[in-house]
Amino acid sequence: MELIDNLILGFTTASTLWNLLFCLIGVLLGTLIGVLPGIGATATIAMLLPITFQIGDPVSALIMLAGVYYGAQYGGSTTAILINMPGESSSAVTAIDGYQMARNGRAGAALATAAIGSFFAGTVSTFLIALFAIPLTAIALKFGAAEFVSLMVVGLISSIALAHGSVIKAMGMVVLGLLLGLVGTDVISGAPRFNLGIREYADGLNFVAVAVGVFGIAEILRNLENEHDRSVLIKKVHGLMPTREDFRRMAAPILRGTALGSVLGILPGAGAILGSFASYTVEKRMSAHPEEFGKGAIEGVAGPESANNAGAQTSFIPMLTLGIPTNPVMALMAGAMIIQGIVPGPNVATEQPSLFWGIIASMWIGNLLLIVLNLPLIGLWVKLLTVPYYILFPIIMAFCSIGVYSVNSNVYDLYVVAFFGIFGYALMKMRCEPAPLLLGFVLGPLLEENLRRAMILSKGDPTTFITRPISATLLVLAAAVLVIVFLPAVKKKRAEVFVEESA
């Protein structure tokens, strides 16, 4: 009964005209940036953070940002199928068979399969969020400062293990993010530190400015370097309704993809990406006709699309219930909550239930809007694919700069954007993934606060982290993850997965 009451509260909140409008804006904008290759949900949400200040209501702002995220997962499949260019990295697997289906004259069936799989996976995974939210929140409320420190260590170690490229570089990015989080004012004494004597940095580096720089501006610079002409091979899409045989073949892959993606999405790192690759591998091994894969197998579209959408939505579970972001987008969502005066974690469900359940209910509404609106808009998305990037990037940069400045009316924030834009581009050139840096930057202040609180409560005894059962268990788990990722067999398999993803 409690779950039903909570869902009624959520739908009451999410179905107001104002929140429905922002849900619609979010999913449409998400689909748009998913369709346009090279922008991505992370960069877009970073750019939209300043706008959330103008919206006023935190519920509406977070509903919109959530819609952008799962809308981008949907939109990424459109370009993957039509022009063999995934709008989102998690749609890279979809391109393998989706594009071949399009070349064989079955673009409509491929797009419909992606839409159906995404809708089903999104619906089921949102139900899982609602089902597990309260139990996880109840467990998290029993956590003390020591347990939260250990939990954050697990999150950071897991993000290192699942990051692209070198584990050592990922560790370096996490440490750098933690150090950047120290800029500002000491949480205990109130003394200024590491701000170079600039009083505008007394409250620390602006999260919005850092995020826009590292992801938004750096991504623009990277896309300018790799700009090339895009040719749309499918001018008009026919036959959006799959056949009875298509439905028969896609049913099991959608179910398996949803289950895989839902589990992997909870893990820190690239859960949606890993889910889509894992689903494709499973479907190829279980298929009675594995020779069709790579030549237009509908299972190669249904499974991965279901997995990446399920993973995208279950990644909200740790952020909403524990306050631990599992990927860069969730770090941005956590940052959006913090700058709205809301501390992510278990207290959100008890202190602001309308916000907590409103976001969850909005995901069902958003998934319904996606399938109702986007298939009729395929023609529009195809036309947008022909827009040259050199026209888009000045507009994007202008909105980034105006948005960041409008947050605090502080010109120093623009310096931060410029610096971290160049710095983020340099990280990309050095094959250092910026996502662990952002996770470290978001969790750094929370980690320091709880670490120092735990030490004060234990009167300076560091053994408090291993004498408390939950904390000790989490630290053992973190150590196990770190040991496993350095095992030769795991290192080899990990390298193969990410090489295949980048291919």
DSSP state of 388: -
Most confident residue range from 28-37, 123-132, 215-224, 479-488: 123-132
> pLDDT tens digit string along 183-220?
888 877 778 888 888 887 877 887 778 877 887 788 77
pLDDT, mean of residues 62-78: 81
What does the alpha-carbon distance between residue 458 and residue 499 come to, in Å, rounded to a whole number?
A: 46
Residue 311: the pLDDT is 81
Residue 445: the pLDDT is 83
Q: Which residue has the tokens 């996880």?
A: 136
Residue 116: the pLDDT is 85
DSSP one-letter string for 249-298: HHHHHHHHHHHHHHHHHTSSS-HHHHHHHHHHHHHHHH-S-GGGTTTT-T
pLDDT, mean of residues 224-230: 58
pLDDT, mean of residues 313-318: 80
SS3 for 193?
strand
Strand 192-193 and strand 184-185: the pairing is antiparallel
Cβ count within 10 A of residue 138: 13
Residue 229: the pLDDT is 44
Task: Tell whether the model's pLDDT for residue 291 goes beyond 70.
Answer: yes
Give the pair of three-digit tokens for residue 374.
């986007």
* Percentage, residues of the chain above pLDDT 90: 2
Q: Which residue has the tokens 């919109």?
A: 64
Q: Which residue has the tokens 């799989």?
A: 117
Cβ count within 10 A of residue 297: 25
Cβ count within 10 A of residue 287: 18
Least confident of 28-37, 84-93, 276-285: 84-93
Number of structural domains, the chain? 1
Residue 397: the pLDDT is 78
Which residues are paired to 184 by β-bridges? 193
Q: Determine contact, residues 337/351, Cβ cutoff 8 Å.
A: no
Rg (CA), the chain: 22
Q: Determine contact, residues 418/70, Cβ cutoff 8 Å.
A: no
What are the distances in angstroms from CA 259 to CA 69, 220, 247?
Answer: 20, 35, 18
Task: Tell whether the model's pLDDT for residue 89 goes beyond 50.
Answer: yes
Residue 238: the pLDDT is 60
Helix-strand-coil percent breakdown of the chain, rounded to 5? 75, 0, 20
SS3 for 195?
coil
Task: Tell whether the model's pLDDT for residue 233 goes beyond 60.
Answer: no
Burial zone of 436 (CB within 10 Å; 0-12 exposed, 13-18 middle, 19+ buried): buried
**Minimal CA–CA distance to 6: which of 345, 316, 358, 315?**
358
Helix count (H) and strand count (E) of the chain? 24, 2
Range of the domain at 431: 2-502
Task: Tell whether the model's pLDDT for residue 234 goes beyond 60.
Answer: no
Would you place residue 501 in the very low, low, confident or very high pLDDT band (cuts 50, 70, 90)? very low
Q: Determine contact, residues 202/410, Cβ cutoff 8 Å.
A: no
pLDDT, mean of residues 440-445: 81
Pure H helices in 375-463? 378-384, 389-408, 411-429, 435-457
235, HSE (Cβ side, Cα atoms, 13 Å): 0
